[in-house]
Amino acid sequence: MPSPILLVNGPNLNMLGSREPEIYGQATLADIEADCVAHAQTLGLALECWQSNVEGEIVTRIQGAGKHYQGLLINAGAYTHTSIAIMDALLTLKIPVIEVHLSNPARREEFRHISYVAKAATGIVAGFGAQSYRLALEAMAALLRSR
């Protein structure tokens, strides 16, 4: 049975494909999710994708993740830089957490250099566009194999 993994996408990621394509690329969130689900299967993972623009919904989903999933991938969008609540929820988990970003926040505006998610993450994959998600899945598969 494949290892169940949850992918959480935060605010404005539902606008991918039309939102600042020079930064985030042409792929829609549906494109990225479909690619991730297929790639996860090749890695022996079962991926469930979920997106919300609402911080409290994201916190609630993270809080329940440890009961149902063996790993969590998260692109918290702008909440990466502002949400102590999301960080606190992630810190309750006993499963690996990988932070994912399409762009490289360290090369962007100063306020994007702070990541509350990183303080709770096992690792971070950023700056490779939609490929960041595939790389994060590969890292998660390796983490789970080494357990």
Identify whether 133 is a catalytic site residue.
Answer: no
Whether 61 contacts 50, CB under 8 Å: yes
Distance CA 140, CA 62 (A): 17
Q: Which of 24, 69, 79, 133 is catalytic?
A: 24
Identify whether 101 is a catalytic site residue.
Answer: yes
Q: Which of 69, 79, 101, 116 is catalytic?
A: 101
User: What distances in angstroms separate CA 115 from CA 34, 43, 111, one per listed residue?
Assistant: 27, 28, 9
Sequence-ordered list of residues with C-beta below 8 angstroms from that of 51, at least 6 positions apart, any chain: 8, 9, 10, 13, 14, 29
Active site members: 24, 101
